Amino acid sequence: MSKRVEVAAGVIFGRDGRFLLGQRAPDTFYAGYWEFPGGKVEPGESPADALVRELDEELGIRVRVLRPWITREHLYEHAHVRLHFFEVADWEGELRDHVHSALSWEPVDAPEVGPMLPANGPILKALRLPRWMGITHATDIGVARQLELLDAALASGLRLVQVREPGMGASDLCAFAAAVVKRARPRGALVVVNGNAELAAEVGADGVHLSAAQLAGLEARPVLEWVGASCHTRAELERAAGFGLDYAVLGAVLPTATHPGQPTLGWERFAELVGGLPMPVLALGGLRRADMERARAAGAHGIAAIRASWDQS
């Protein structure tokens, strides 16, 4: 049996949005591989405290803002490693590396260095998931108006769209989903179709978003690049993780106009539910853009929303 090692790792962002990778030194396991900076959690330390200490010792930087993100496990030949990833959103000091052969600032969408340390590889895909998901409601506001608002949102930086139209007929839904994909593709935005993997493939969408009921009956991960699911409980989140889904959406965090009177989680409960999960989770329910910092402080990757995504006020 390999020994269990707890490790804290940091996704350190620069002002230009790039993140930092370090190349492992010649006298270490996987020499020459690239990794996220961090190190071993010592007895009596929390992962967050360990990362703050490690980044000071290894890189000479002092952390100002640290956000919990995701936790992944990997079985190496020498150890069973549990990696607690944090986003280092703000830091001070001049980088002075003491442990790596080299450092490199890499773009989120297409890192150029390699090979990556095996445990860290899946993190690169998670970093590609945009921070805001716009959920369509063309059935409520009309297809023409929804597409008009979509164009404006894409021009303003929206890069993840969920086509969700439960009241739309099959032929109309196919045409609408195809129109969304046509608009999103030139902007580099991802499109997932709610509940219908076959339709997603037909219109050239990037993936499918499963309902909680579909997740409960799932037997195998759909064969699409991006697969996510709506969740409401820890058990559902763990089921999504067990199938290797790329993300989950958890809510409702706050009261919503869509489901008035529905019980809400609140931020404290949200943070409890998402702690220690291996995939990013988007917060849903009554949220606006001003809630992004609060959401990420609670461990959310970002926010999913209907009305706030298309609000031009």
- What is the C-alpha to C-alpha distance for residues 193 and 181, in angstroms, rounded to an integer? 10
Report residue 167 as tokens: 């009241």
Q: Quick one: pLDDT at residue 29?
A: 85
The C-alpha angle with vertex 32 and arms to 101 and 123, in degrees rounded to 5, equals 100
Contacts of 226 (CB under 8 A, 6+ apart): 129, 190, 192, 206, 207, 208, 246, 247
For 217, list phi and psi in degrees, rounded to 5.
-100, 5
Which residue do the tokens 């089921």 mark?
Answer: 239
Cβ atoms of residues 210 and 218 within 8 Å: yes
pLDDT tens-digit profile, the chain (313 residues): 567 899 999 999 988 999 999 999 998 888 999 999 999 999 999 999 999 999 999 999 999 999 999 999 988 777 789 999 999 989 999 999 999 999 999 999 889 999 998 887 789 999 999 999 999 999 999 999 999 999 999 999 999 999 999 999 999 999 999 999 999 999 999 999 999 999 999 999 999 999 999 999 999 999 999 999 999 999 999 999 999 999 999 999 999 877 777 889 999 999 999 999 999 999 999 999 999 999 999 999 999 999 999 986 5
The candidate with the shortest Cα–Cα distance to 55, out of 4, 92, 6, is: 92
Which residue do the tokens 């020459």 mark?
Answer: 32
Q: Quick one: pLDDT at residue 258?
A: 72
